[in-house]
Copies of this chain bind each other. A is one copy, B any other.
Amino acid sequence: MEHKVIGTNLAKVDAPERVTGKAAYGADLNLPGMLWAKIVRSPYPHARIKKIDTSKAAALPGVKAVITAEDFPVLEKGATAPLVGEVSISLNAVRELAMASDKARYHGQSVAAVAAIDPFIADDAARLVEIEYEELPVVGDLLDAMKSDAPLVHEDLFTTEEGEPEKGTQPSNIAMHMVYSRGDVEAGFRQADVVLEHTYRTQMVHQGYMEPQACAARVEPDGKVTVWTSTQGVFTVRNQLVALLGLPASRVKVVPMECGGGFGGKSLALFEPTVIVLAQKTGRPVKLVLSREDVLRATGPGSPTVITVKAGATREGKLTAVSASMRYDAGAFPGSPVSRGILVGLAPYKVDNMWAEGFDVVTNKPRVQAYRAPGGTPAAFAVESLMDMLAERIAMDPLELRAKNAVQQGDTFPLGMPINRIGLKEILERIKAHPCWTTPLVGPNRGRGLALGFWIGGSFTSSAHITINSDATASVHVGAVDLTGTRTTILQMAAEELQMQPRDIVVTVGDTDTAPFADVSGGSRITYTMSTAVYQACQDVIAQLKERAAEKLKVAADELEYGEKRVWVKSDPQKAVLLKDLARESVALGKGPIVGKGSTTRMQPAPAYAAHVADVEVDPETGKVKILRYTCFQDVGRAINPAQVEGQLQGGAVQGIGWALSEEYVFDKGILKNANLLDYRCPVALDLPMIDTVLIEVPASEGPYGLRGTGEVPIVPPGAALANAIYRAVGVRLDELPMTPERVFWATHSQTTHDEPQMAAAD
């Protein structure tokens, strides 16, 4: 369909203020009488908190309050708060993460907080809080944590077996175990000509958002709370605060500041409760800004994993069975994305016999949070590496192996959901003909790797209100925080439907007192769901315009057409009413102002597949991997703003490349050793070539434009794409991320690189 604004590279509306430094982030907020907060953190990865003496800290001049968990309202056991859709989160977990009560369960966990008149006094005061700890054995390693004799992170945590009403009878560090099964994998493996099995490991990584968390709270004289915060979801945060503080939503307002990156790590209300309680106690506004070290030690990184994958195929390349055991480390509280790992890792493959189990395991590390396609990257690293091995074993082109086993519409995803329209086949065909695949890669120590990726694409709730201003411009109001340029895509969609210039439309992300409800910005869902909400709101506006024009022209509304800033009679186009007249009159006469509403709660998913092709050159003397060329193929459904979509692909790929080659949390006895951006090595522009992108547009099954969410898929393939490329470059397969120069070097200089893959009995 021909569009005028959709599909164009409209400059990001918030770009000028972001690049000029004028955008207001949480740390920029200054309120009269404001105090500065500082969190006191546990020096032990695992310890019982015996006693906290705040007296010295409270006595320091300039200190206005010192709080501990005792200052927070008491919660009911098992209390939850809505997080997104019908997914809830344990309130007790949120509260403990905001401020530990009985135990510190990771190094750096918040145990107390102070508020003082400047950040330096706050710092000093934090050091004066005296806490008596009883150190406990550290549960550091994921696999060790799963053993029955492991020390317990939670003495009252019993394993939930998905689908079973009863929990386990022994407390455990295994919070959850699940199994998905279809067909008969044992039979399937027996049918295979080749069976391979291997175990892969990934480390804890951080989302690396540029902006540390920052928030401020103010309590009005009548008790109403206002919070300004860097967050991915104002209503999400409000839900948690309402439940944590025991206040009605009418007494808690959450105001979004510009968010300098979230990627899933800014959805939980971990800091807002602290500044609110300090504000309540002091009667003054309180602000908290995390340091980079705080961010790395004590926010919500991505899970370390141990994943075993096993696949069987015929000699002709047909998969007969796939099984996986995925163990995800959630950090100090349950909630790793292991089920998503199962879904994402196995999503591309049509195989009737599938068995996958997942373990959600707690350890003494910071509690993980979502990280861009949460759970997906480690799973795809494992599966796509194994598939590459399998292709080689049967002497088949890896692309062809994927094509032979690709799912299509009508098949079933892992975990059981039906597959609607997808573009996997189209992606594979595009690669086949693309120079990045067809051009030979010559030279020593050079290799090319392929890996697939997937994200299911969230939906949940989004709403939009659109007002026609009295001068015929328009105002769009949404409650969805703009992380990725959604103000711009929303503007484009409104401009398209209303047939207005972008300049004539303003899009505002509002606060919880006034904005239309939206679930958290994440899951690649905002532009997707807003396409429906904005479209509906525009249709509502146009219907109202037609209704009013119909009255003036004395015709029926269905005889009218809207466009070119007028409403005209289809059979007599000269008979028309101008938009500007309807707009001007709307605020003075008749029914009143024209406001359209649109909302969606449960669109079907718009699953997005991707495939990355990486060319690398490995320096045998150092193990350093240089990326020569990197191409992302992705089914985006319909690119509302191609430049922004390309940016999403590039950004996600870069995070995946960092995850693959250089980023890892290095723990020593539960203490993070590289809690700074020098030693936690994210890629920078100098480390990378231009990431090429190829946008494939297979329209999603639902939505007015067929667009799909695009932001998360691109982080999924790089691990395996690069591992497979390294293998073709230097003949070793790495089975652990990150593939640092050190690891690559030792792998290429060892006799045995890893266990020989298992062979089927009959060869």
Chain A residues at the B interface, C-beta cutoff of 8 Å: 13, 16-17, 20, 22, 28, 30, 32, 82, 85-86, 220-222, 224, 235, 239, 242, 248-251, 253, 460-461, 463, 465, 467, 469-471, 473-475, 477, 503-506, 508, 510, 512-517, 519, 584, 587-593, 595, 597, 599-602
Complexed CA–CA distance, A235 and B591 (Å): 18
A16, A32, A467, A514: residue with the most chain B Cβ atoms closer than 10 Å:
A514
Tell me whether A82 and B588 are in contact in the complex, defined as CB-CB below 8 angstroms, given that A32-B28, A248-B471, A250-B504 are known contacts.
yes
CB nearest neighbor in B for A20: B221
Q: Which of B20, B32, B474, B506 contacts A224 (CB 8 A)?
A: B506
B516 touches A593 (CB 8 A): yes
* CB pair B517 A514 closer than 8 Å: no
Q: Determine how close the nearest CB of chain B comes to the CB of A525; give it in whole angstroms.
A: 13
Complexed CA–CA distance, A477 and B505 (Å): 21
Contact A473 B221 (CB under 8 A): no
The smallest C-beta distance from A82 to any residue of chain B, in angstroms, reads 7
A17, A461, A516, A592 — most chain B CB neighbours (10 Å) = A592
Q: Which residues of B contact A235 (CB under 8 A)?
A: 470, 587
Contacts of A602 in B (CB 8 A): 589-590
Contact across chains for A249 and B22 when beta carbons are under 8 A apart: no
Cβ A470 vs Cβ B517 within 8 A: yes
Q: Which residues of B contact A248 (CB under 8 A)?
A: 469, 471, 473, 503-504
Most buried by B among A250, A515, A584: A250
Question: Do B16 and A473 have beta carbons less than 8 Å apart?
Answer: no
9 contacts between A and B (CB under 8 A): A20-B221, A249-B475, A250-B475, A250-B505, A475-B514, A477-B513, A510-B514, A514-B515, A589-B601
Contact B82–A251 (Cβ < 8 Å): no
- Which of B20, B508, B589 meets A513, CB within 8 Å? B508
> Within the oligomer, what is the number of copies of this chain?
2
Instruction: List, in ascending order, chain B residues with CB within 8 A of A32's CB.
Output: 28, 30
Known: A16-B220, A16-B222. A470 touches B82 (CB 8 A): yes
Which residue on chain B has the smallest CB distance to residue A519?
A: B587
* Distance, CA A503 to CA B601, complexed state (A): 28
Closest Cβ of chain B: how far from A591's Cβ, in Å?
7
With a cutoff of 8 Å between Cβ atoms, the chain B residues found around residue A589 in the complex are 86, 601-602
The one of B85, B221, B588 in contact with A16, judged by C-beta atoms closer than 8 angstroms, is B221
Residue of B nearest to A33 (CB): B22
18 A-B pairs besides A250-B504, A517-B592 with CB distance below 8 A are A16-B221, A17-B222, A20-B221, A30-B30, A239-B470, A248-B503, A248-B504, A250-B473, A250-B506, A253-B506, A465-B465, A467-B517, A477-B513, A508-B513, A514-B515, A516-B593, A519-B587, A591-B601
Q: Are A17 and B584 in contact (CB under 8 A)?
A: no
* B-chain residues with CB within 8 Å of residue A515 when the two chains form the complex: 514
Q: Report the minimal beta-carbon distance from A293 to chain B, rounded to whole angstroms.
A: 26
Given contacts A503-B251, A510-B514, contact A588 B22 (CB under 8 A): no
In chain B, what residue has the closest Cβ to A469? B249
**Which B residues touch A28, using CB under 8 A?**
32
Whether A250 contacts B592 in the complex (CB less than 8 A), given A20-B221, A220-B17, A514-B508, comes out as: no
Contact yes or no, A22 B592, CB < 8 A: no
Name the residue of chain B whose CB is nearest to the CB of A602: B589
A588-B86 contact in complex given A220-B16, A593-B463, C-beta closer than 8 Å: yes
CB-CB under 8 A from A250, the residues of chain B are 469, 473-475, 503-506
Kindly list chain B residues whose C-beta atoms are within 8 Å of the C-beta of A517: 467, 470, 587, 592-593
Q: Which residue of B lies closest to A597 (CB)?
A: B595
Q: Which residue of B lies closest to A28 (CB)?
A: B32
Q: Which residues of B contact A513 (CB under 8 A)?
A: 475, 477, 506, 508
Known contacts A250-B506, A505-B250, A510-B514: does B595 contact A221 (CB below 8 Å)? no
The answer for the CA separation of A588 and B239 in the assembled complex, in Å, is: 13
B-chain residues with CB within 8 Å of residue A587 when the two chains form the complex: 82, 235, 461, 517, 519, 601
Q: Is the CB of B17 within 8 A of A592?
A: no
Q: Name the distance in Å between A289's Cβ and chain B's nearest Cβ.
A: 15
Q: Is A461's CB under 8 angstroms from B588's CB?
A: yes
10 closest cross-chain pairs (CB), A and B: A592-B599, A16-B221, A250-B473, A249-B469, A517-B593, A250-B506, A248-B473, A477-B514, A508-B513, A16-B222
**A249 partner residues in chain B, CB cutoff 8 A:** 469-471, 473, 475
Min distance, Cβ A301 to any Cβ of chain B, angstroms: 28
| Chain B residues, Cβ within 8 Å of A505 | 250
A460–B587 Cα distance when bound, in Å, is: 9
A233 to B: closest C-beta gap in Å: 12
Q: Which residues of B contact A86 (CB under 8 A)?
A: 588-589
| Contact yes or no, A82 B591, CB < 8 A | no
Smallest beta-carbon distance A145→chain B, Å: 34
In the docked arrangement, what's the CA distance between A589 and B600, Å? Answer: 8
List residues of chain B with CB within 8 A of the CB of A593: 461, 463, 516-517, 599
What are the residues of chain B within 8 A of A16 when measuring CB–CB?
220-222
For A30, list chain B residues within 8 Å (CB).
30, 32
Q: A475-B513, A503-B248, A592-B599 are in contact. Are A13 and B469 (CB under 8 A)?
A: no
Pick the most buried of A222, A253, A504: most chain B CB atoms within 10 A of its CB. A222
Which residues in B have their C-beta under 8 angstroms from that of A221?
A: 16-17, 20, 22
Nearest residue, chain B, Cβ from A517 = B593
Per the bound structure, the CA–CA distance linking A601 and B587 in Å amounts to 7
Name which residue of chain B comes closest to A243, CB basis: B471
Chain B residues within 8 Å of A251, by CB: 503, 506
Give the residues in chain B near A471, CB-CB below 8 Å: 242, 248-249
A592 touches B461 (CB 8 A): yes
> Which among A249, A597, A599, A600 has the greatest number of chain B C-beta atoms within 10 A?
A249
Alpha-carbon separation in the docked complex, A600 to B473 (Å): 21
* Contact, CB under 8 Å: A599 / B588: no
Cα A305 to Cα B178 with chains together (Å): 86
Interchain CA distance A241-B110 in the complex, whole Å: 49
Task: Select from chain B the residue with minimum beta-carbon distance to A592.
Answer: B599
Complexed CA–CA distance, A89 and B447 (Å)? 74
Please give the distance in Å from A283's CB to the nearest CB on chain B: 10
Contacting pair A85 B601 (CB below 8 A): no
- Minimum CB distance partner of A584 in chain B: B82
